[in-house]
Amino acid sequence: MRVLITRPEREATTLATALSQRGHVPVIAPLFRLEILHPPADFAASLAACQAVLLSSANGARALAEASEQRGRPILAVGDTTATTAEGLGFTAVTSAAGDGAALVELARQRLDPKAGPLVHVSGVDLALDLGEALGRDGFEVRRFALYDARAEGTLPDSARAALQARALDAATFFSPRAAQQFAKLVGEAGLADALRSVTAIGISPAALAALGKLPFKAAVAAARPTRQAVLDEIDRLAEAGVQGQAIMSDTPSSPPPPPPPAPPPIPVRRGVGVFGAFVIGLVTAVIVLAGAVISLPFWPEQARVLWRGQAAIPPAPTPSLDLQAVRSAADIVANAAVETAKRELNARLDDLEKRLRALSATAAEKPAGSDPAVADLRSRLEALEGRPAAAPSEATPSAEADKEMAMLRAEIATLRTALQALDQSVTGQREQTKALGDAVGARSAGEQKALVAARASAVIGVAARLSAALDSGLPFTADLNLLAPLAQGDAKLTEVAAALQPYAQAGVASRAALAASFPAVAKAALADDLADDSFGQRVLGKIRSIISLRRVGDDVPGDSVEAKLARAEAALDAGDLAKAVDLVKSLPPQTNKATQAWLARAEAHLAANRAIDALAAHAVSLLGAVH
């Protein structure tokens, strides 16, 4: 099923992981932004004097952890998700009411004594149930502190808008009345209410669905219990029954559903880019690639520029989905055709210029000025005339005839000199023309080569962006890697990067978010293996450690113990430093290898693929830098 998640991004990411593990497709569309507030001046004193802390949400647990370093106060949590979040943040005495606000009130009545001291309720600015009023009737003093605020979005998120417009949703989840009210408001403002006719609304309780009564949902289903697990079970039940109208859904099923398969306990991810962050990063990368292509457009061959501009846009067919493989194949064919056409044109023009240059060079080499027959004949005649002896005065030639002959000789000498100078100038001009043509060929070839390099670098940047998006999502990237094949010809660096990525292309590598989400379970197992030596007591303690998740967290845990290194590794993961986390896990003692070996292999595969993609992007940038 394709399920819309309206929770804030942190809770939405955790829920999306659980849905993906069950085979569903999550669509994250947060309706609220979480903001941690600064605690008031009297909060520390109230916390120290209270007998217990009441948490009505997982966000309350996070806000409490931000507001105070105390981790030993007794905590009563509204549900299992809130209790798990508090334990993950280091609180040591946590009890879950496994229900809603009414269950939390009942748990406080059973476990606590009004005479033992006041209670502290950590909540958000908006309150669904006033615990102070409910418990005040039993004599309890409840001091409420609003330490976070879920600020509503002003417009419907783009992911929800697109999914509704494409009729691509099967179900939508709502975990509070406020979320339902905000969704109804934003959907009405966007004019997309009619798109809900094929969508089933699933609420954590009937109260969470009350505000959706005017929207034309296909059905409205409330979970059997007010817990996240019950919502997941309801989604599985709907998927088994079919979301295409095979049966009419109702709040109360006619027969109890079969028990769902056991799911791993949800693990909150406290930081990370999330699906929305990955989308934003991919969008920014695409904009950078497009800018590079536009900047290099003047250097492209005419055929490539025509293909870039294209003809009149063809209106898309009215279908709800696209054949991504067909689109990629078409794009590859167009790109390859443009490159091949440009190559053929440039090669033909370069061959013609080179032939002309060789012909001129050969002509100049075969007929140098010093060995040209015409030049040699003129020079010999000129020298003969100049060396001819003058007539003796005693000769019988009359004076008039001698003067006439001398005049003719002088005229012939002048003519020969003029012809020789003209020939010298002609040879010099031919040499200069040959040199100028050679320079022109070199300059034109360099410009066209720069255009080819710029286009190639832009294409490599685009491939790197697609590979990076596949890495962030944990999907296979064989098709994206194949785009490097025509670009890597004659480029050793691109060939090396393609070879480095090839082992991971078919199956993909684990995303950074998936590695962070699975780490707490790995840390718990590693800690248990570290304690389980050959003694009976330590084996029992290790067994308990493998069941109960109780360990310190944070990057400020000192020491070289297994627990300290695991705490710092988890903090590094939360900060996005996967390499540091891997180094810390590698430094653990050998007895933890069994618990960490599989996780380390997945993490190192991610790092290796990420290094290769970074090298690919750096190489593309260097190619662009060489052009300008």
Give 479-508 pLDDT, tens digit per residue: 888 887 877 777 888 888 888 888 988 888
Closest by Cα among 312, 297, 303, 291 to 336: 303
Q: Is residue 39 domain-shared with residue 24, that is, in the same domain?
A: no
Q: Is residue 372 part of a domain?
A: no
Residue where a domain terminates, one of 152, 176, 195: 152
Q: Is residue 589 part of a domain?
A: yes
Residue type, 212: L
Q: Is residue 517 domain-shared with residue 623, that is, in the same domain?
A: yes
Q: Is residue 494 part of a domain?
A: no
pLDDT of 245 above 60: no
Collapsing DSSP to helix, strand or coil, 126 comes out as coil
Q: Is residue 522 domain-shared with residue 585, that is, in the same domain?
A: yes
Residue where a domain terminates, one of 202, 220, 241: 241
Q: Is residue 247 part of a domain?
A: no
Q: Is residue 12 domain-shared with residue 61, that is, in the same domain?
A: no
Q: Is residue 401 part of a domain?
A: no
Alpha helices of 474-557 — where are they, by DSSP H?
478-482, 492-505, 512-531, 536-547
DSSP bridge pairs for 3? 26, 171
Q: Is residue 27 domain-shared with residue 165, that is, in the same domain?
A: yes
| Distance separating alpha carbons of residues 344 and 350, to the nearest angstrom | 10
369 versus 219: the higher-pLDDT residue is 219
- Interior angle at CA 88, CA 83 and CA 90, nearest 5: 100
Tell me the mean pLDDT in the region 539-562. Answer: 59
Q: Is residue 529 domain-shared with residue 620, that is, in the same domain?
A: yes
406 versus 79: the higher-pLDDT residue is 79
- Interior angle at CA 163, CA 160 and CA 167, nearest 5: 135
The per-residue pLDDT for range 433-479, each reduced to its tens digit, is: 666 666 665 555 566 667 677 777 777 888 888 888 888 888 888 88
Residue 121 pLDDT = 93
Q: Is residue 48 domain-shared with residue 100, that is, in the same domain?
A: yes
Q: Is residue 576 domain-shared with residue 516, that is, in the same domain?
A: yes
State the pairing for strand pair 32-36/142-152. Answer: antiparallel
For residue 90, what is the domain's CATH number?
Answer: 3.40.50.10090
Residue 133 pLDDT = 86
* Residues 233, 202 contacting (CB under 8 angstroms): no
* Residues 531, 546 contacting (CB under 8 angstroms): no
Q: Is residue 61 domain-shared with residue 194, that is, in the same domain?
A: no
Q: Is residue 22 domain-shared with residue 39, that is, in the same domain?
A: no
Q: What global pTM score does this model have?
A: 0.38
Radius of gyration of the chain (CA): 41
Q: Please give the DSSP secondary-structure letter assigned to residue 577.
A: -
Side-chain half-sphere CA neighbours of 152 within 13 A: 15
Q: What is the total count of domains within the chain?
A: 3
Neighbour tally for 211: CB within 10 Å: 20
Closest by Cα among 296, 332, 294, 626 to 455: 296
pLDDT of 201 above 90: yes
Residue 120 pLDDT = 94
Q: Is residue 506 part of a domain?
A: no
In this prediction, residue 102 has a pLDDT band, given cuts at 50, 70 and 90, of: confident
Residue where a domain terminates, one of 152, 174, 208: 152
- Interior angle at CA 24, CA 23 and CA 29, nearest 5: 150
Alpha helices of 301-398 — where are they, by DSSP H?
302-309, 324-366, 373-387
Domain span including residue 79: 34-152
* Residues 219, 252 contacting (CB under 8 angstroms): no
pLDDT of 272 above 50: no
pLDDT of 391 above 60: no
In this prediction, residue 132 has a pLDDT band, given cuts at 50, 70 and 90, of: confident
Residue 34 pLDDT = 82
Q: Is residue 64 part of a domain?
A: yes
Burial class (CB in 10 A: 0-12, 13-18, 19+), 357: middle
| Distance separating alpha carbons of residues 24 and 268, to the nearest angstrom | 19
Q: Is residue 117 domain-shared with residue 172, that is, in the same domain?
A: no
Q: Is residue 12 domain-shared with residue 39, that is, in the same domain?
A: no
Q: Is residue 409 part of a domain?
A: no
